[in-house]
Amino acid sequence: MMKDSVELIIDYPAKIAAALLSNEIDIGLVPVAVIPVMKEYHIISDYGIACDGEVASVCLFSEVPLSEIKTVLLDYQSRTSVMLAKILLKEYWKIDPVFEQADDHFSNNIKGSVAAIVIGDRALKQRKKTPYIYDLGSAWKALTGLPFVFAAWVSNKEMDNSFVNDFNKANELGLNNIKQIVQMNPCSFFDLEQYYTQFIRYTLDEPKKQGMEAFLSKLSQMQIL
């Protein structure tokens, strides 16, 4: 059984990536921006976390229009979202704000010309508070015409085929039971069934792999790894 062969550790993406880099864990669902800095990596699953247009949970939030933004606070929880934001601010939105690393309660500092990249549950909550919402998934699609992959299941060593097959089956089982999972984890601030079925994409098909390659290429060109 898959549950008997793994120890599950839950944390935010950047911490999981750090644990994978330091060999504290063998496999992680990690931001894809960590891939170029790994000594050895293997994408071991047919599944990941992606979008093909609007993603809803990874956004630039502001009280003012883009042209009036002077400073952008960067969410500490995901390296990929921060790097994506830097690309989009330069190439798509064509503004050049000052970047500042954010602390735990940085969303309280979204005021005036100070905007912020917010991800995850905090972003879904922030949607009810902030008048200007710029979705990074939508902007990437408009810029490149491609889906965007935020995270993939990556290992720092080779895994045998039987484990990979079982791991894929475990992922598929979860995806086939989204409705039940949402019912077990009620949410008051966003329709999670809609989020998991309409905004998030999971299969790492060829268009998503192309999107991931385009993103990693842009990171290299901009030298922001």
Q: 127-156, pLDDT tens digit by residue?
A: 999 999 999 999 999 999 999 999 999 999
Which candidate, 141, 152, 130, places its Cα nearest to that of 60?
Answer: 130
Residue 202 sits at the vertex; the CA angle it makes with 204 and 180, to the nearest 5 degrees, is: 155
Q: d(Cα 176, Cα 187) in Å, to the nearest integer?
A: 20
Per-residue pLDDT, averaged over 117-126, amounts to: 94
What is the average pLDDT value for the chain, to the nearest integer? 93
Q: d(Cα 147, Cα 52) in Å, to the nearest integer?
A: 4
Per-residue pLDDT, averaged over 81-92, amounts to: 96
Per-residue pLDDT, averaged over 144-172, amounts to: 94
CB 75 within 8 A of CB 100: no
What pLDDT is stored for residue 5 in this prediction? 72
Go through the domains of the chain in sequence order and give each one's CATH number. Answer: 48-151+175-220 (3.40.190.10)
Burial degree of 22 (CB within 10 A; 0-12, 13-18, 19+): exposed
Report the predicted TM-score, pTM, of the whole model to 2 decimal places: 0.91
Which candidate, 88, 85, 130, 89, places its Cα nearest to that of 107?
Answer: 130
Please state the three-class secondary structure of 143-195 as a single string: HHCCCEEEEEEEECCCCCHHHHHHHHHHHHHHHCCHHHHHHHCCCCCCCHHHH
**Is residue 84 predicted with pLDDT exceeding 60?**
yes
Per the model's pLDDT, the better-predicted residue between 183 and 5 turns out to be 183
What pLDDT is stored for residue 76 in this prediction? 86
CB 136 within 8 A of CB 108: no
Per-residue pLDDT, averaged over 179-200, amounts to: 93
Which candidate, 3, 20, 53, 19, places its Cα nearest to that of 154?
Answer: 20
Q: How confident is the model at residue 88 (pLDDT cuts 50, 70, 90)?
A: very high
